[in-house]
Structure 1
Amino acid sequence: MSAPTRKRRWLTICALAASAALVATPAGAASGRTSPFGARALARLAAERAQSTGAVTPKATAEDDDGGNEADEIAEGADQYAEARTSPGIVAPGAYGAAWTSLTDLPSTGGSWRNITDLPYNSDDSRYRDIDSNSSGGSGNVTGRMAAMAADDDGYVYAGSAGGGVWRSRSGGGHWQPISDRLSSQSTGALALDGAGRLWLGTGEATTNADAYLGSGVYVLSDPHHGTFSSRRRVGGDELESTTIHELRFGGGKVWAATSEGVWSHSTRTLGGAWKLEFAPNPDYLPGGSLASDPSAAYKNIANDIAIDPKDPDKVILAVGWRSGDDYNGFYTQDSKGSWQRITSGFGDLPTDADNVGNVTFARSADGSRYYAIDQSPEQLNTNPDSGLEGIYRAASPSGPWTKIADYRQLAADGSALTSSGYMPGVQAWYNQFLTVDPSDPGHVYAGLEEVYETKDGGGTWSTVGPYWNFNFSCWSIDPAKQTGDCNQTTHSDQHGVAIGRYHGKSFVYVGNDGGVYKRPVDGSQDTSGHATDWTSLNDGTIDTLQYYSVGIGKDLTYGGVSVTGGLQDNGQSILRGNDTVMGSDFGGDGGDTLTDPANGCDLAEEYVYLAIQVTQNCAVNDGSWITDATKATSYNVAPADNATGEARFIAPLAADLKDSSTWIAGGRHIWVQTHGYAIRSGDEWKSVYDLGAGRTATAVAASGGKVYAAWCGPCNNQGFARGISVGNADGTGWHDIALPATGADGTVPNRYLSGFAVDPKNADHVFLAVNGFSRHWTEGPGAGVGHVFESTDGGTTWKDISANLPDVPANSAVVTPNGGLAVATDLGVVYRAPGRTRWERVGSLPAVAVLQLKLGPDGSTLYAATHGRGIYTIRVRDCS
């Protein structure tokens, strides 16, 4: 799939990846969007230019018009990562907390991890301005997704990432340091400063997207200027463990938390004692309730925000509801007896019917004279091909009446970059939302959806100060001598967090999105189109929250050392060459699995999603000349046929034979083999060597010396989940399914998601299997079984559980080290079993971050770990011994 298509689909996949939310999305919960993706955006730009200049345009393919259902695809990606961790049932709260305790109790190996991606990552790097990159879009330096922001008037800024913890800047942004590494959850839901200057952290990202991880509760940092978060400063007991927290609000001496399990409150004066459940619309679905084991339980008590009147803290409005719709969705307030009642009238323009109240964000002015709200509508999400946004609203009191001050059409007409790409503002309003009011002006508001919008007159007029990107504007140019042509820098897309603070006496707005943190003066400048001219990326490399799915390593034949690359959530493919001080991005969109030639790090293949594979043999270095000459492109689309038919998983498996780097294995419904290595130029060069069967898709593949292992699931969700292993040869002979007990009996491979193989390079019949999910202690589903690592010495015919003292935590991948040891990547770090031993040790002391893939460097002396929230780390293999 070409990059310009990927540029279009960057919007849709930003929310995809993988959900550790511990339950799969219930059937029918996702919306039904019908907007096609259409032709590649940049190819269209090139075609328009060609009409006037006679230039040659890049050739379009069938993939360029791969009509699709956007919201269904978002939901499907979310389902698939959740399936890996939940199927065949649901998982009880506390699983990750227990696993973290067990992991930290393990003995540790020697050595320590080194972060190699803690340097700037330039998404506009002109070295990689190839057809498949997003270079020149205007996002500049990026890092991983930021879920929440906070800032004070002393120049301190706090950024809460999706999976890499909380970070502090003492200089108005930049020069960051992590301050939550000692916590058992590195997933941020909310950050808030109270009147006493304390920093409150609600863990568990609450964007209901694919790779949101559950939290371990709420924590307070009394001295945020100097201290770090500690488990000793958790507020209350374990009531909010294994929830997500959307917002923390203060009023009447209490902190209120809008969580995935209702609305809770706690005294801000006394941090001990239990949280009080203020309201849950469906309490029977809460943990311990009669319906707690229902597959839809996690979607029955979602709270999004709380509005509290500072003049009368007893006046509280709750915004409650699942973004795809449920009967309980709505706004609630207390009656004279203290009972919570749904608001059904007197609210003005802000809807009160369940169909039109979804994800909601409130904001109020510092003087309490103005309130604002964003409302995402389930009905719009399910039926409107343009947007899921119901509107933005204003009121003098949280009780209303509310007046609509913007809808998606108005925002689209005020300088949005989305309209020329075929979308409308709010297309992902269930995922992208923030709202804040300038403390010095009740009419000055910043709103975040996919883009950043600003109004200075209370909503009468709006400007798109942070457009989605610059590609469709007349100021844009592919010129590699310029970062964004004649356009100004913008922010990364997909907004989540916002704060206003002061530094050296000047006010700034700080926004957090899928590309990290950006700032501009609160009263900044705009061009004639209403686009800001003064955004600054604060992703200076000292903050590394990059969310990798994969890693690839090869010798750098040009600069020496090694070239390291990896696929990222919504930040394309990063590449770090041997002499680099700044990483570049040679492929855009999302990055999935990665292959790199150990002998030449510029020979690499990158999967986008669903087996959409691109290959390059020069690191995708290009001067931009492809825009006028299609033959100048240096990357090629080589997707096997399962990509076009949709019969591959969102992040589909891709591997090279251990003994022959020119033989590649890819898995969808079919097991695909191609033998041209990095010289492949067409998807037609793949050969299907085995059909797993209708409804089945590969979850892991591996090969050594022509022997191929393939794991699959089908169905892959809780309804009838099934898994299996197929074994055969790369030449298409000898294929057969391994007989696995359907129920995952004790000592056998569990009936859970099979996530990775590690083949002994000395013996292709000796193979290890990593198993995801949680054992039956936590999982209420048929055949959940026990164990996470299994071994076969007879080519996969029989398996033995070798988990021993391994914590009960999802295992993602494994690698056999040169000394015969075994390293395993888990959702909470890396473990190692030395050769001849049966017990596991913890490798180093990574924070509580998911490690999705392990790879060995070209000489086998270094282990590389792709984390989903803290970048790529390395450790010497000998230090694991």
Structure 2
Amino acid sequence: MQPGAGPPVSFLHLDHEAVAMFSRFVSGAVAVLALTSPLSLAGQRTPDRQAPSDQSVEALVNTVSVRSVGPAVMSGRVEDIAVAEVGGAGSASLGTVFYIGSAGGGVWKTTNRGVTWEPIFDDTGVASIGAVAVAPSDPDVVWVGTGEDNNLRSSSYGNGVYRSVDGGESFQHMGLRSSQHIGKIKVHPGNSDIVYVAAVGPLWGAGGDRGVFRTMDGGRTWQNVLSLDEHTGAADIVLDPSDPDVIYAASHQRERRAYSYVGGGPGSGVWKSTDGGDTWTKSTHGLPTSDMGRIGLDVSRSQPRTVYAVVEGSEQGVYRSDNGGASWRKTSDVASIPWYFGEIRVDPVDPETVYHLGVRLQRSTDGGVTWEAIARSVHADQHALWINPENRDHLILGNDGGLYVSHDRGESWDFSPNLPISQFYAVGIDMAEPFFGLYGGLQDNSTWGGPSRTRSSEGIFNADWFRMAGGDGFYAAVDPTDPNVAYVESQNGNILRYDRRTGDRKGIRPIPPEGEPPYRFNWSAPIKISPWDHRTVYFAANHLFKSTDRGDSWVRLGEDLTRALDRDALPMMGGVPAKDAVSRHQGTADFGNVSDIDVSTVREGLLITGSDDGTIAISDDDGGSWTKQTRFPGVPDTTYVSKVRLSRHDAAVMYATFDGHRSNDLRPYVIRSDDGGRTWRNITANLPEVGNVRALAEHHVNPDLLFVGTEFGVFTSLDRGGSWIRITGGMPPVRVDDIVIHPRENTLVVATHGRGFYLVDDLGPLQHLTAARASGGVHLFPVKSEMAFTPDPSRTSGTGADRDYAARNPDVGTTVSYLLPGAGRDVVLEITDAAGAVVRRLDAPDAAGLHHVRWDFRMDMPYAGPPEERRSGQGGGGGFGGGSVRGAMVVPGTYTARLTVEGAPVLEESFAVRKDLQVLLTDAQLRELHGIRMHQLQLDARFSMALRQAEALKGEFDQAREAMKGSSVSDALAGVAAELSDDLDAALRVLRGSGRGGFGGDEAGPRNVRQLLGVAAGVHRATVMPTAQEREALAAVPALLDAQVAAVNEMVAERMPAFLRSLDEEGVPWTPGRVVR
């Protein structure tokens, strides 16, 4: 069989091809849908923090910043590794620059062996990566295939292939848009324009770009040189290292649906081309005659006719050919979950040493006959392995837990703790003070908790996170009255009650009564704590359960809330699969389960559930009875219900989102009911046509403000679903699995499946944006009350090295936001205290648009020096003496932001600066401390001016004295100069010391003002009462400073002018500071 190579196809033509939607089982019928738009994903930009003159609502929304909090401690699935293997590089440099492709977090590049990483693919608009390749002849040419090839229930899709010609600085889309999943990319070793792509094609349906594609012109045109059928694509491709025209490819027939998976069929096989892909021959001799599934291939570099394959199927195992694929022999049964891994690698030096990537990394040194598990210390589930061709001891490994490097052939491994590509399924929050906690379960990486922010001035570190439970992590519901207690879950309904204080993990999974069938749990079974009683918990399988004793016992609330369809009777790849089909049902939860639940905060007893078979059930009597619905406007039947939400404002209002990608329907679906679920309306509106919806949240104060999470980011609606706007603000186009809003902090929390957690710290501007725009004039938004505290510089990761990961903490303070309808008018933004006194004047942009100005809770500096010295900086108060030039922290209390714009009324918004909960001082002591801090700053300001003046005098004097050396001057003038010099030096010594003792002054010499002010500046660095030394220093400064100010002022006013006049009179050459004659 030789599938012919079709005519060249331009990727520009592919842009306009339809992406087909294939059969969906509906009550015994098959519904066929068609998506007429190409899979085109918009790019991503990071807007300026200050709005441009663009007054569109989209521009205003995207002045809001999104903050990443990671974490990186558990990392995420690394799908591919690409190292530039340019000839002559040598073993010392190989592996210095390389790329990793993550399953959901984009492409990352390191130029220093993984010490630091940079995301380089965010601007493309897609984050799921299947393959990365660097051209062997040109390290600047990098190819990326989007859409991971792991056939997983949670796998995301892509939109084709991209190329960079500048080492990843920029990427251009090069076609194969409807491939969705790319297995491998290989670049010709001598010509970087010749590229082969193994496209597996859509996982959840038929059609699309499938097979082996070849370009001879750098991606401008493509040929589908190996094409089989609508269900079969190519999972792997390797080139003979001695002859790049000899190519081996593995075809893979598979399909996944919400209810099942079939991982093989007659389409799967091994193929060989000896003419660069023009023609292909199927290799069968010695390979299984039964249906095969996924196949991974590799060719020995040192002995190119030796080829290895790891094969999935009833005869699965490792196969070896020593004649270039003409015949094969099975060497062992090793094949660990091959539908998920399917990778094998041959040592570059020894053809008998082979690595198999499965749950564990295994190595054989006898040609695949016997195997030993190595890398026992690394995370499970291996997906990518690079072996340094110049140094076989050097390995780079990618798995579900991130990236590992070994320099001793796998005996020991080093983990990269700075790749924030964690894949969350859900997010939970607590009500802890002062900073709330974040919780969530991750793909194959347990359930974790950590802070939304910390006191550290350096950021949020990996060490700030803690593991709560194992397995694949999912929901984490935290007791709102006790942040130490949480309900967490791993796959298939294994729910635990976790107590952080003791570390106890109590299993509380509901068990069916004797004689009843097992409950059917979603892979991510939903958990909800009742808003009416923190001891009451709801949990779902195909039924909804309720516990009023924290899970110690459960009550089943009524009937099965799904359609209870028989998944064995549902079609796969056009027919009902045989019971012995390859990998049948693998990686699939029991079909017919509840996928989401919600409990009303408005009406007690009002419940809603959604299921994986498209059913929504509503109860208004706490589960005593249910109303089930299966038909919704604009939503194909049986579409997976991804989220159900009851309004926090009106018991009659409900929302639901549907995710059709499990039937290859990539469109978004969002619906709303305003009558308690009796009728529904579609509010998908202008959401992009490609991008299934997984999450929804309604704002707790403004019912018009909604958020949805899609495959490619977060969108917001300001009009209850009438229209949608994508939120960028620093967030990449990554899949969003869950969204919650913290009610106390008004913070949006986003759980992504590829880049960890993201936060919008203050939703106030979005909450009030519609009203602000409707006013038509200048608008000052409500200001969020925040806690004032001193950041702790000692809270670090411990090493301070570049490899340490730290997510950014917000700056201490609050943000003042205002909207200007036009530009060109004077704008003044001030902060006043409760008495109306101005404590700070902030820099206020005057361009049209929405602006966000940060106030750091500090007062204006008393020192009236140059503007650059008056601006707020880092550190703890003080100027020349105290170290930094910024004002004192205000005392807790009520403050007002006052906005004055020329021609508009003065606008004011009051807010609170909250007291640090960890501070033990009374309010009276805080006021006393504030007075002491102000006193120190005032002394520091006076000192700064005196020192600046004395140093200026010294500069003028030294130039004048130098000029005197070439002139004949009177003894009287020489005496005046000597006396003035001595007095200037004495003043400077008292002010700043001799300089021999460092910045703080001369420790060995007499006390000086700078030294004393440096000691006194300690009052700014901790919120405690001053020490005796600090008080003593403050008490000593005025007398010393007053004397020197008087001396310097006398020199300025009298002695220096008289001295300069004498120079003129005696004809000394001109120097700066004297009149030009």
TM-score over 0.5 for the alignment? yes
CA-to-aligned-CA distance 1:403-428 (integer Å, 9 cap, x gap): 544433xxxxxxxxxxxxxxxxx230
1:454 pairs with one of 363, 366, 391: 363
From the superposition, tell whether residues 100 and 800 of structure 1 become closer, same or farther in structure 2 (CA, over 3 Å).
Answer: farther
Aligned pairs (5 A) from 1:651-800: 651-676=524-549, 679-680=550-551, 682=552, 684-692=553-561, 695=564, 696-704=592-600, 705-713=603-611, 716=613, 723-730=615-622, 732-733=623-624, 735-737=625-627, 742=631, 744-745=632-633, 752-773=639-660, 779=665, 788-800=669-681
* SS of structure 1 residue aligned to 2:483: strand
State how far apart, in whole Å, the 1-side matches of 2:31 and 2:442 are.
Answer: 28
Counterpart of 1:575, as a letter, is G
Deviation at 1:576, TM superposition (A): 1.0
> Does residue 549 of the first structure (1) align with residue 496 of the second (2)?
no
Deviation at 1:401, TM superposition (A): 4.1
Question: Paired residue for 2:298?
Answer: 363
State how far apart, in whole Å, the 2-side matches of 1:255 and 1:595 are.
Answer: 48
Counterpart of 2:414, as a letter, is T
Deviation at 1:501, TM superposition (A): 4.1
Counterpart of 2:312, as a letter, is S
> Does residue 834 of the first structure (1) align with residue 718 of the second (2)?
yes
Question: Paired residue for 1:184?
Answer: 125
The question of whether the paired residues in 2 share the 8 Å contact of 1:330 and 1:353 is answered with: no
* SS of structure 2 residue aligned to 1:593: strand
Question: Paired residue for 2:81?
Answer: 149
From the superposition, tell whether residues 650 and 874 of structure 1 become closer, same or farther in structure 2 (CA, over 3 Å).
Answer: same
> Does residue 204 of the first structure (1) align with residue 154 of the second (2)?
no
CA-to-aligned-CA distance 1:456-487 (integer Å, 9 cap, x gap): 564466432123xxxxxxxxxxxxxxxxxxxx
Question: Paired residue for 1:45?
Answer: none
Question: Paired residue for 2:1057?
Answer: none
From the superposition, tell whether residues 617 and 329 of structure 1 become closer, same or farther in structure 2 (CA, over 3 Å).
Answer: closer
State how far apart, in whole Å, the 2-side matches of 1:242 and 1:659 are.
Answer: 48
The question of whether the paired residues in 2 share the 8 Å contact of 1:319 and 1:330 is answered with: yes
From the superposition, tell whether residues 215 and 635 of structure 1 become closer, same or farther in structure 2 (CA, over 3 Å).
Answer: same
Counterpart of 2:65, as a letter, is S
State how far apart, in whole Å, the 1-side matches of 2:345 and 2:765 are.
Answer: 48
Deviation at 1:644, TM superposition (A): 7.6
Deviation at 1:367, TM superposition (A): 4.3
> Does residue 273 of the first structure (1) align with residue 220 of the second (2)?
yes
Counterpart of 1:376, as a letter, is V
Deviation at 1:604, TM superposition (A): 0.8
Aligned pairs (5 A) from 1:66-145: 92=35, 96-97=39-40, 108-119=61-72, 121=73, 142-145=74-77
Counterpart of 1:257, as a letter, is V
> Does residue 878 of the first structure (1) align with residue 831 of the second (2)?
no
State how far apart, in whole Å, the 2-side matches of 1:841 and 1:171 are.
Answer: 39
The question of whether the paired residues in 2 share the 8 Å contact of 1:548 and 1:866 is answered with: yes
From the superposition, tell whether residues 371 and 879 of structure 1 become closer, same or farther in structure 2 (CA, over 3 Å).
Answer: farther
From the superposition, tell whether residues 827 and 589 of structure 1 become closer, same or farther in structure 2 (CA, over 3 Å).
Answer: same
1:608 pairs with one of 465, 475, 490: 490
The question of whether the paired residues in 2 share the 8 Å contact of 1:814 and 1:824 is answered with: yes
From the superposition, tell whether residues 745 and 702 of structure 1 become closer, same or farther in structure 2 (CA, over 3 Å).
Answer: closer
> Does residue 866 of the first structure (1) align with residue 803 of the second (2)?
no
Please tell me the root mean square deviation across aligned C-alpha atoms, in Å. Answer: 3.6
State how far apart, in whole Å, the 1-side matches of 2:320 and 2:422 are.
Answer: 34
State how far apart, in whole Å, the 1-side matches of 2:492 and 2:151 are.
Answer: 21
* SS of structure 2 residue aligned to 1:863: strand
The question of whether the paired residues in 1 share the 8 Å contact of 2:251 and 2:268 is answered with: yes
From the superposition, tell whether residues 303 and 92 of structure 1 become closer, same or farther in structure 2 (CA, over 3 Å).
Answer: farther
Deviation at 1:811, TM superposition (A): 1.8
> Does residue 617 of the first structure (1) align with residue 499 of the second (2)?
yes
CA-to-aligned-CA distance 1:670-720 (integer Å, 9 cap, x gap): 2222223xx33x3x3334244436615323211123233334447x2xxxx
The question of whether the paired residues in 2 share the 8 Å contact of 1:94 and 1:242 is answered with: no
Aligned pairs (5 A) from 1:373-392: 373-380=308-315, 389-392=316-319
CA-to-aligned-CA distance 1:840-878 (integer Å, 9 cap, x gap): 222234222111111122514111111111111111222
From the superposition, tell whether residues 362 and 23 of structure 1 become closer, same or farther in structure 2 (CA, over 3 Å).
Answer: farther
Question: Paired residue for 2:395?
Answer: 509
* SS of structure 1 residue aligned to 2:536: strand
The question of whether the paired residues in 1 share the 8 Å contact of 2:388 and 2:394 is answered with: yes
> Does residue 520 of the first structure (1) align with residue 410 of the second (2)?
no
From the superposition, tell whether residues 588 and 854 of structure 1 become closer, same or farther in structure 2 (CA, over 3 Å).
Answer: same
* SS of structure 2 residue aligned to 1:228: coil
> Does residue 326 of the first structure (1) align with residue 197 of the second (2)?
no
From the superposition, tell whether residues 502 and 173 of structure 1 become closer, same or farther in structure 2 (CA, over 3 Å).
Answer: farther
State how far apart, in whole Å, the 1-side matches of 2:708 and 2:758 are.
Answer: 14
CA-to-aligned-CA distance 1:130-182 (integer Å, 9 cap, x gap): xxxxxxxxxxxx31111111224151131111111111122212422211111
From the superposition, tell whether residues 302 and 635 of structure 1 become closer, same or farther in structure 2 (CA, over 3 Å).
Answer: same
* SS of structure 1 residue aligned to 2:528: strand
State how far apart, in whole Å, the 1-side matches of 2:274 and 2:505 are.
Answer: 66
State how far apart, in whole Å, the 1-side matches of 2:389 and 2:114 are.
Answer: 11
From the superposition, tell whether residues 754 and 263 of structure 1 become closer, same or farther in structure 2 (CA, over 3 Å).
Answer: closer
The question of whether the paired residues in 1 share the 8 Å contact of 2:211 and 2:234 is answered with: yes
State how far apart, in whole Å, the 2-side matches of 1:727 and 1:432 are.
Answer: 43
CA-to-aligned-CA distance 1:429-464 (integer Å, 9 cap, x gap): 221233333445444443312211234564466432
Aligned pairs (5 A) from 1:812-851: 812-820=694-702, 821-834=705-718, 838-845=722-729, 846-851=731-736
Identity %: 24
Question: Paired residue for 2:787?
Answer: none
Counterpart of 1:537, as a letter, is F
Name the larger-Rg structure: 2
State how far apart, in whole Å, the 2-side matches of 1:333 and 1:775 are.
Answer: 33
Q: Which runs of 5+ in 1 are unaligned?
A: 1-20, 28-82, 122-141, 286-299, 381-388, 409-425, 468-489, 525-531, 623-632, 717-721, 781-785
From the superposition, tell whether residues 307 and 790 of structure 1 become closer, same or farther in structure 2 (CA, over 3 Å).
Answer: closer
Residue range with higher mean Cα deviation, 255-264 or 184-193: 255-264
- Scaled by the length of structure 1, the TM-score of the pair is 0.68
State how far apart, in whole Å, the 2-side matches of 1:850 and 1:103 are.
Answer: 17
Counterpart of 1:158, as a letter, is Y
Aligned pairs (5 A) from 1:155-234: 155-195=96-136, 196-197=138-139, 198-224=141-167, 227-230=168-171, 233-234=172-173
The question of whether the paired residues in 2 share the 8 Å contact of 1:567 and 1:593 is answered with: yes
Aligned residues: 661
Question: Paired residue for 1:241?
Answer: 178
1:572 pairs with one of 446, 450, 453: 446
From the superposition, tell whether residues 375 and 440 of structure 1 become closer, same or farther in structure 2 (CA, over 3 Å).
Answer: closer
State how far apart, in whole Å, the 2-side matches of 1:668 and 1:686 are.
Answer: 13
State how far apart, in whole Å, the 1-side matches of 2:274 and 2:737 are.
Answer: 49
State how far apart, in whole Å, the 1-side matches of 2:361 and 2:609 are.
Answer: 43
Q: Which runs of 5+ in 2 are unaligned?
A: 1-18, 48-56, 85-93, 202-209, 255-262, 455-459, 565-591, 768-1077
Deviation at 1:228, TM superposition (A): 3.0
The question of whether the paired residues in 2 share the 8 Å contact of 1:216 and 1:242 is answered with: yes
CA-to-aligned-CA distance 1:368-398 (integer Å, 9 cap, x gap): 5453323223224xxxxxxxx4214252x53
From the superposition, tell whether residues 852 and 844 of structure 1 become closer, same or farther in structure 2 (CA, over 3 Å).
Answer: same
Counterpart of 2:385, as a letter, is V
1:407 pairs with one of 333, 336, 342: 333
From the superposition, tell whether residues 93 and 693 of structure 1 become closer, same or farther in structure 2 (CA, over 3 Å).
Answer: closer
> Does residue 260 of the first structure (1) align with residue 200 of the second (2)?
yes
The question of whether the paired residues in 1 share the 8 Å contact of 2:519 and 2:542 is answered with: no
The question of whether the paired residues in 2 share the 8 Å contact of 1:115 and 1:872 is answered with: yes
From the superposition, tell whether residues 111 and 444 of structure 1 become closer, same or farther in structure 2 (CA, over 3 Å).
Answer: same
State how far apart, in whole Å, the 1-side matches of 2:699 and 2:71 are.
Answer: 26
State how far apart, in whole Å, the 2-side matches of 1:518 and 1:25 are.
Answer: 41
